[in-house]
Chain A
Amino acid sequence: MLFNEIYGCYYNTVAKILSSAVKRNLTSDEMKQIICDNAFSESFLTIIPALVNEQWQLLNPELNTPLKHEPTMPLTMLQKRWLKAISLDTHIKLFPVSFDFLDGIEPLFTTEDYVVFDRYNDGDPYEDESYIQNFHLILDAIHRKKKVRIQYESKKGNHRTILCAPYQLEYSEKDDKFRLLISGCRFADTINMGRIKECEIINESTALCIVPKQKNSEFFIMELVDERNALERIMLHFAHFKKEAERISENSYRVKIYYDSDDETELIIRILSFGPFIKVTEPESFVNLIKERLIMQKSCQLK
């Protein structure tokens, strides 16, 4: 079963404590720090007494352990089957890993066993050699904190070359695309990986020029009426945003959603998809964007 103590946070934390005890003299403060860093916020109330009172006979009160080696654990079959499954995924070519140790292992699933039925059809070309090469190079640059020179095609089809400090790759599950988050460039703070034509690492450190982009600084407020199961659909649909929800009457609710200004158009479309079950009330500028679309729709004279 997946819900098993061997994968649990207590076993991992105790392994780290014992590892320290095997290597050198473990101190009480160090033990507390390991628990604080690795376990849940109240775990120290259980782990410390269990270890020092010999309830778990792995440490004595002087914090010495009878173990002779730092604790390690072989992979479980479930872990191997999962690794085998991801080795069959189209995205795996983005990562230079070896699967030799998985020979003869049955995958937990194959691409035949599931379908993402509402993913957009124009995802990044994960089989394309130059895309894979660019991805490897950029990931390497991020690891080594190096600047890159990138030649890419803009949305309007123009070719541009920029020098920038890449710091993160953002993956959208809906678009099946990666976007590169960059800093230190006047023209852009993100570039779609699929638009990159060429790139090279420049031997210049990025250490001083990374200023991560502020995300989700905007918000809108909507009111919704729980009809035709709208509440459940809406709350799940917007679940991945930071939000605050409150009930305002028997079956109506007010929800505040925080979003990134770059995603405003997408948000408007998503709100429209719920039809009359959502009414955006604030801010006025956002309400007006929806009104504009409705006015345009009215002019289409749909009968």
Chain B
Amino acid sequence: MAYTELVKNFECIRSYMREFYVYGFKSRDEYEKKSTRTYDNERRRIESYLGDYMAFRQTQNGKNVFLSIDSRNTVHNPLYKALKSKSFTDGDITLHFILFDILHSADIALTLNKITDKIDKEYLSCFKNPMIFDESTVRKKLKEYIMLGMISSNKQGKQMVYSRNESTDLASWNDALKFFSEAGLNGVIGSFLLDKTDKGHEHFSFKHHYITYALESEILCELLKAVSEKRIVTIKNYTRRSDNDKIWDVLPLKIFISVQNGRRYLLGYNFPLHEIKSYRLDFITDVKIGDISPRFCELREKLSEMQEHMWGVYCNKRHTSLEHVEFTVHAGDNEEHIYRRLNREKRCGTVERIDKHTCRFMADVYDTSEMIPWIRTFICRITTMNFSNRTIENQFKRDIEDMYLLYGVGGEE
């Protein structure tokens, strides 16, 4: 098939964009899953959408393509552009603009017959080879727009009439849209709205801003719809441990978002496994919404109880007991901020002062290993530690020894 700038399905380009943005060191030959032609097409598309951010490096293994985006200096997430690349037919676009021109105000209500007649006589008759839209095609398009909430149908006597829904002036929402399109959940929808408004000046910028979340927008949107209706979903999930995607029936309960590691998760009840599990959104490749579950409230309540002992997203019920984590840190005379840091950054557990220079953190969690990166941030002041999971405690201490070696501290490098 000839190359086109637009795509029917977002999934293929999604994985390439992620590779180019997050990693950016692979050459063409290393994209094993797809043919080189697919690679060339996707690279060309991404270059077309994001040319300003595309960069190249020649290495021994070939040319590496990567996306170089500093999200702190970018006021609008550039990855949203890829979500505005859905393909359509000639008929789709022609009918779209003509329909909304015929139904240009919410006061106008017309029958299908009248609309079809107007399309032919008032809009297409001026073209050399006018397109032909029969009633069934127009009805199908109207039905599609009713489903999208842009058009309403009402019975007038025996006939069905169609009218557009009221338009809304969002001029006063400009600042709010600029903020929430970046910092809000499913912000791409705000970006769709901003496309219709006067852009004006940019008064907001964003720090610690993981723009790759854009690539999961469609998956997240379906999951949120399912959560709001308490529906079960069938998800297709990629796992590193297997070549094949897994298919699971899951009741979505809550979305867990990290603003520190660039990942978002679905926490949901897995019916075949009978447990609440986490699924990374960037590993979910398809969502199909199914039936309503009567167990939603009960299971969400259970998850809320579990959250008291979750540092991250791990909540495996098979753990018979919680793991105890305890460590103390030293804070010098002018280091009151260490106590504040512990309190500010803890997600569960308690912080107490033992004496003027020592603070203790304690928590009981499902999985000690989730806490390790955070505890490491206190390296330079950790004085004691006491984990009930001795394996992890020993690993932590070995890692610190490895760091001494790595940087040549107290021995040979």
Contact = CB atoms under 8 A, between A and B. Distances in A.
B271 interface: no
A179 B205 CA distance: 10
A291 to B, nearest CB: 5
Contact of B195 (A12, A272, A296): A12
Interface residues of A, number: 125
B40 interface: no
B298 to A, nearest CB: 15
A155 B94 CA distance: 60
A279 B179 contact: no
A199 interface: no
B401 to A, nearest CB: 9
A216 B72 contact: yes
A168 B25 contact: no
Contacts of A211: none
A187 interface: no
B381 A300 contact: yes
A58 B127 CA distance: 9
A81 B191 CA distance: 14
Interface in B348-393: 372-374, 376-377, 379-385
Contact of B185 (A56, A114, A235, A247): A114
Given A15-B97, A296-B381, A233 B210 contact: no
Interface in A256-303: 258, 260, 269-270, 272-276, 279, 287, 290-298, 300-302
Contact of B224 (A15, A113, A241, A291): A113
Contacts of A83: 173, 193
Contact of A74 (B164, B192, B400): B164
A295 B381 CA distance: 10
B292 interface: no
Contacts of A251: none
Contacts of A9: 81, 84-85, 195
Contacts of A11: 88, 93, 96
A5 B260 contact: no
Given A2-B218, A72-B100, A236-B22, A58 B172 contact: no
A169 interface: yes
B343 interface: yes
Interface in A181-204: 181
A1 interface: yes
Nearest to B408: A291
Contact of B262 (A41, A119, A239): A239
A24 interface: no
B346 interface: yes
Interface stretch (A25-33, A101-109, A146-154): A101-109
Nearest to B397: A302
A57 B381 contact: no
Contacts of A302: 382-385, 397, 400
Contact of B254 (A2, A114, A139, A273): A114
A242 B69 contact: yes
A291 B407 contact: yes
B376 A275 contact: yes
Given A68-B104, A293-B379, A40 B185 contact: no
Contact of B128 (A54, A75, A173, A274): A54
Nearest to A108: B224
Contacts of B59: 246-247
B319 interface: no
B33 interface: no
Nearest to A68: B101
A237 B208 CA distance: 10
Given A69-B101, A75-B168, A246-B57, A173 B207 contact: yes
Contact of B86 (A5, A170, A237): A5
A208 to B, nearest CB: 16
B149 A56 contact: no
Contacts of A54: 127-129
The listed residue with most B CB atoms (<10 A of its CB), out of A57, A71, A272, A301, is A57
Interface stretch (B109-117, B154-162, B243-251, B306-314): B306-314
A122 B345 CA distance: 9
B210 A246 contact: no
A215 B94 contact: no
Interface in A134-190: 139, 142-143, 167-175, 179, 181
B180 interface: yes
Nearest to A42: B48
Given A108-B186, A119-B259, A292-B380, 14 more contacts: A7-B86, A8-B84, A41-B49, A60-B127, A67-B97, A68-B101, A101-B166, A108-B221, A121-B346, A143-B201, A171-B182, A216-B73, A242-B68, A296-B380
Interface of B: 4-6, 10, 21-25, 44, 47-49, 51, 55, 57, 59, 61, 64, 66, 68-73, 81, 83-88, 90, 92-94, 96-98, 100-101, 104, 106, 122-124, 126-131, 148-151, 164-168, 172-173, 175-176, 179-180, 182-186, 188-190, 192-193, 195-196, 201-212, 217-218, 221, 224-225, 227-228, 240, 254-263, 307, 310, 312-313, 330, 340, 343-347, 372-374, 376-377, 379-385, 397, 399-400, 402-404, 406-410
8 contacts: A66-B124, A74-B167, A113-B228, A121-B343, A173-B209, A239-B22, A298-B410, A300-B383
